Structure 1
């Protein structure tokens, strides 16, 4: 017994009354069944918050728990302060899930007192958390006066377990069980309940007038006069009015608002410190300033509940026929009659047939055809997972993914963006139409933020006698348009007149301004090759802003525009921004680098077919760049190909390095198809390569001659916004494709694109395998559908990225799979090209 007293004296002499905060409740299981009073006294240590009560129990503990219970005393001794600072039972533990930021939630769960969280959890931004902790602290103090009286303590704790005001029955129960035990407890609870004044149901009679239906108003007043408890009143209103308690319903809005006591507002509302910009993006899509809370995928009403419970009638009959106990059916009941009541319709559009999930998948044995290396993400929570399309250093283990550091879109967000990326986020004040552009810094936080010009989302567009709201896409003839802050932005597609003759349709080229489809290429200052001067003039270029010949046939380094100490390197690009404000240089002046990172892997191939680990090493060795990516034997010798953008490339490797897919072999010599009505096109003389898969129903990109198996997007974008995103350098097609490529999650697909002659962005998502399977073709089409959906829904997944925030609308065309059997194809340009896709990389695009 001496050892036991020694522990108690140590506790009291060092003022270790905080044993209650560090005591592990699991110690109490060491109390033997022969000593029930010991176990009860031990459990009291965990719940008591009163210092005087704690000292009293500690002094008497040895009389309940003999020294022979050595494991119990060792366990209690190990939980002394200093042995463990963490508490599994501090009063705020149950409140931690109310924390807004993840860091605050984590610290709260690891804390032993409120003082441990004040550094991370700020009171001005974590009000629900601190309100809960304060309430629990008050409950802990009040209910500690119950001592060993379990019933009194339980009824006391019930007062503090809810955010609503204590009911009359709860208060009466505390008085009944605790009055004779602890007057201090009654007084403590009374002080708490004063902040929740007891309301009479009749105080809410005015809410009944908010009901939209007359019968509901009458029923509401009757219920408030005849019923007393909150639960009875809620059930009665739901039954009589036939509506669930939704906050947008005026009746329920009144009741829910009056259920809580009025709060005293601070003189000044502190600024919000914890933000989730990804969610704030979505808030701006609300039609009203006080929009309804987000429901989980469906409306919350009786009708929709019935729809969820419904099943296809055919499935219902099958289930009851195979699984139903016919002996328990009533006389005359059959599966069909029962299902007539449960599922009166057999509408496959509203219900998903079960047989889809009861038959083996046709792709069961094709798991290697399509993989998702980043789903689920193998990276730490602070890193983004990106598909590895660059390969690895020789001799190193090669994973199919990279983990790259990222930044959260706000302190309370779990949405990550890559380091050095430029991100558009709503301003903190929440003003609709106002954004700022920030950079994801090496510190893992958004920094260097600059406000952008606001736009008025309340302005509408008047087109064809109809008003269109901001953000709405619509059609005018064959043109796709979108309303942006009162301005109708449309594509410049040429449309066939509905009253035109057959001859008009035959002569229709689909080119801007009805230009003839003669291929006499010119290079405009934006770096884009147009099929003729007529087309270049039509899209807005003056005669002094273009020269004859394709852009790749012109040497931007002749004459040399760089200083003597620098080297001129061609860097061809197609710019999307205003040329008068942001010139579009086709070269780069580089100095010989003093040192390069040997470990950085971004392979490049020089004109001597020698490979270098990165571009810096190539420049350091005074070599000339041929293309980005690993050197390919097939590209040792020039073999000209024509890209979808109308440019001629010396090798297919060079085209892929430029993120352009190949149209046909040889030099570009024809204006591609721009309209479905074009019949007499120069493409008639072009020998198109065979498709990579005969099971594919292909698509033909605008301006191309030959069809491809791919998913295709035609994107309408806002040039004014694109101009506002240009920080120092112009925004280019490469910039767009580089970011979009990060969102292609299947390594068996890659992305290519170009600017069409009518100024739309054309994006192709193409299978990279030599002979893609139907599953791989379908996977690329699904990737295209995903990007299309993200654009049209203005999702922050894409819309937070600069310059993708300038996208207005997307139209998708997909390669479908036919039932034709696949047969091996001979080696063709298409097969040759696709085989290189697996090994070529984009570098910096």
Structure 2
């Protein structure tokens, strides 16, 4: 708003100064003042468009305003409204320009500021600090602000882009060669340090697909699969497809599941920590028979037999690894020293009696068992199993949320859901889905889920080789789905939305950006949609905003689907899940009283 006001004051002087032309105008206070305000506001939106991120108004609007309010007698010689607009706004393509009519009529979403807030805009933190949305909540008695100011480093001397202390960052190599990068750590000094050079990537390498050459960085479809060419390496999703050339026999055998596996739910646990609905699907994604065992991963006890030393305690730590588990062991436990005196580090956990402890050490010192990580929640006192979108049965909603997994339905997992527009999965017919949380929400259906939900959804291709490289040159530890979600979460700027996700059985990363209120308003649903579209655009444009973060630069292509908000008084508003607004594992909702 301040930027738009400053523009208006400059234009009121009778001239709009552009880099290659000055445009004389009449008194904009009297000539179409509302339209000039709309122009000023539209040009200050950041990003201006989720795809092009350009800052131009559409040509027809440009011509209209200059015909009405341009000072034609003072136009540069040989120029008309049309010729000036050809330079400034050469298109009416809505993908690449901003139509002013959006800003000349009241919003259908209303004007309730409290429904969606931006704690970090304007930036309340010091120049050497990074502002983050406070999703951790606060201890009682503390001043509770909706944001956190954390120490950080600038990416370069001339850069205003700040990353948090301790973060691994990918930056261009010192030599400046195209495709060459190094990985650095943001140190306590406020500078990037401990840099390690990576192997250069040949960006000239292309992929040959169906006799056609696809250059590096391009994304395209092959049947129903999305593919991307990365430095000569073709990476595709593994969706099962039907097309117009499919035979009648193929159509009859089509299940929509990978490798046309039978629609049955007999779960197996892969060595990557992912539960697959059946052995057939596990084999289809590339696992050998000795790389999975029957039963869900969450049902396995990684501490029996105890793999830790006598002076250590074995603690289950479930994780789904994206790196090659043959190179980086995807351990499902951690060994911690048995301590007589626990430190005061606050990392709250909840035991099976719904009693909260400041950290794991104090919980085990009291001889208790861990239920889930994060503060205890009153709505999880009574344990009721739920099925997550990842096909795991969790002991409670809170246990699922602490794993950053959203709930598909209540009860034990019993079916693999819809993956294809053509496949019909009968097992989901026996699942009782919760009613939608919002009035008039046109929902999305996550891959493998049975029940629809109101959310912005991303389906992301990733480069496994690149993740392996990151793991090899950094800490030799596997990179997990939770690592990706935690990093993406930092880029969602609206506290009314939170991030959940899982690895799909089609080998894509699925991210859901969900309203945290149990009865989200249309504006909040729209905000989560916009956050999803923003993340998609950052991934597909290889924006340094995401790509500078290890491991997010391994995300190479994304498709977004959003749940539209439609006005429908006939839809009954029912709380589906217990409110996410409690501060479980960083879930918090900031609203006015």
TM-score, reference length from structure 1: 0.58
Once residues 485 and 293 of structure 2 are traced to their aligned partners in structure 1, the CA distance between those partners, rounded to angstroms, is 27
Matched, 1:444 2:190: yes
Once residues 452 and 722 of structure 1 are traced to their aligned partners in structure 2, the CA distance between those partners, rounded to angstroms, is 12
Does the residue aligned with 1:474 lie in a helix, a strand or coil? Answer: strand
Question: What is aligned with 1:561?
Answer: 307
Does the residue aligned with 1:489 lie in a helix, a strand or coil? Answer: strand
Once residues 358 and 444 of structure 2 are traced to their aligned partners in structure 1, the CA distance between those partners, rounded to angstroms, is 36
The match for 1:789 among 529, 537, 560 is 537
**Structure 1 position 805, deviation (Å):** 1.1
Question: What is aligned with 1:762?
Answer: 510
Question: What is aligned with 2:61?
Answer: 311
**Structure 1 position 623, deviation (Å):** 3.2
Does the residue aligned with 1:311 lie in a helix, a strand or coil? Answer: helix
Matched, 1:803 2:551: yes
Matched, 1:714 2:464: no
More strand by share: 2
Question: What is aligned with 1:704?
Answer: 449
Matched, 1:525 2:275: no
Matched, 1:749 2:497: yes
**Cα 1:596/1:360, change in 2 over 3 Å:** farther
Written as runs of structure 1 = structure 2, the 5 A alignment for 1:113-512 is 311=61, 349=94, 352=98, 354-363=100-109, 365-500=111-246, 504-505=250-251, 507-512=253-258
CA contact (8 A) 1:592 1:619 kept: no
Q: What runs of 5+ residues in structure 1 fail to find an aligned partner?
A: 1-243, 246-295, 299-303, 329-337
Once residues 308 and 738 of structure 1 are traced to their aligned partners in structure 2, the CA distance between those partners, rounded to angstroms, is 38
Does the residue aligned with 2:113 lie in a helix, a strand or coil? Answer: coil
Question: What is aligned with 2:476?
Answer: 728
CA contact (8 A) 2:502 2:510 kept: yes
Tell me the alpha carbon deviations over residues 86-140 of structure 1, each in whole angstroms, 9 at most, x when there is no partner: xxxxxxxxxxxxxxxxxxxxxxxxxxxxxxxxxxxxxxxxxxxxxxxxxxxxxxx
The match for 1:691 among 416, 432, 436 is 436
**Cα 1:556/1:347, change in 2 over 3 Å:** closer
Once residues 59 and 561 of structure 2 are traced to their aligned partners in structure 1, the CA distance between those partners, rounded to angstroms, is 35
- Range moving further from structure 2, 690-699 or 348-357: 348-357
**Cα 1:514/1:359, change in 2 over 3 Å:** closer
Does the residue aligned with 1:537 lie in a helix, a strand or coil? Answer: helix
Once residues 221 and 491 of structure 2 are traced to their aligned partners in structure 1, the CA distance between those partners, rounded to angstroms, is 28
The match for 1:675 among 413, 416, 420 is 420
Does the residue aligned with 1:556 lie in a helix, a strand or coil? Answer: coil
Tell me the alpha carbon deviations over residues 752-792 of structure 1, each in whole angstroms, 9 at most, x when there is no partner: 00000111000000001010000000000000001000000
Once residues 178 and 231 of structure 2 are traced to their aligned partners in structure 1, the CA distance between those partners, rounded to angstroms, is 11
More helix by share: 1
Matched, 1:820 2:568: yes
Once residues 117 and 549 of structure 2 are traced to their aligned partners in structure 1, the CA distance between those partners, rounded to angstroms, is 26
CA contact (8 A) 2:58 2:99 kept: no
Once residues 812 and 351 of structure 1 are traced to their aligned partners in structure 2, the CA distance between those partners, rounded to angstroms, is 21
Once residues 459 and 99 of structure 2 are traced to their aligned partners in structure 1, the CA distance between those partners, rounded to angstroms, is 34
**Structure 1 position 413, deviation (Å):** 2.1
Once residues 419 and 635 of structure 1 are traced to their aligned partners in structure 2, the CA distance between those partners, rounded to angstroms, is 34
Question: What is aligned with 1:8?
Answer: none
Matched, 1:841 2:550: no
**Cα 1:496/1:584, change in 2 over 3 Å:** same
Q: What runs of 5+ residues in structure 2 fail to find an aligned partner?
A: 1-19, 22-52, 74-79, 588-593
**Structure 1 position 519, deviation (Å):** 0.7
**Cα 1:310/1:759, change in 2 over 3 Å:** closer
CA contact (8 A) 2:186 2:192 kept: yes
**Structure 1 position 313, deviation (Å):** 6.7
Does the residue aligned with 1:390 lie in a helix, a strand or coil? Answer: coil
**Structure 1 position 376, deviation (Å):** 1.3
CA contact (8 A) 1:312 1:351 kept: no
Question: What is aligned with 1:647?
Answer: 392
CA contact (8 A) 1:408 1:416 kept: yes
**Structure 1 position 616, deviation (Å):** 4.2
Once residues 427 and 355 of structure 1 are traced to their aligned partners in structure 2, the CA distance between those partners, rounded to angstroms, is 45
Question: What is aligned with 1:219?
Answer: none
Written as runs of structure 1 = structure 2, the 5 A alignment for 1:39-78 is none
Does the residue aligned with 1:797 lie in a helix, a strand or coil? Answer: helix
Tell me the alpha carbon deviations over residues 657-693 of structure 1, each in whole angstroms, 9 at most, x when there is no partner: 1100000111001111110111243111211111111
TM-score, reference length from structure 2: 0.82
**Structure 1 position 414, deviation (Å):** 1.7
Once residues 703 and 310 of structure 1 are traced to their aligned partners in structure 2, the CA distance between those partners, rounded to angstroms, is 45
**Structure 1 position 341, deviation (Å):** 10
Question: What is aligned with 1:156?
Answer: none
CA contact (8 A) 2:402 2:584 kept: yes
Once residues 819 and 340 of structure 1 are traced to their aligned partners in structure 2, the CA distance between those partners, rounded to angstroms, is 40
**Structure 1 position 839, deviation (Å):** 3.0
**Structure 1 position 613, deviation (Å):** 2.7
**Cα 1:688/1:546, change in 2 over 3 Å:** same
Question: What is aligned with 1:588?
Answer: 334
CA contact (8 A) 1:388 1:402 kept: yes
Once residues 475 and 309 of structure 1 are traced to their aligned partners in structure 2, the CA distance between those partners, rounded to angstroms, is 32
**Cα 1:342/1:452, change in 2 over 3 Å:** closer
Tell me the alpha carbon deviations over residues 337-381 of structure 1, each in whole angstroms, 9 at most, x when there is no partner: x99999999958487554443434455541000000011110001
**Structure 1 position 699, deviation (Å):** 0.6
**Cα 1:691/1:315, change in 2 over 3 Å:** farther
The match for 2:317 among 571, 585, 602 is 571
CA contact (8 A) 2:109 2:522 kept: no
Question: What is aligned with 1:213?
Answer: none
Written as runs of structure 1 = structure 2, the 5 A alignment for 1:6-85 is none
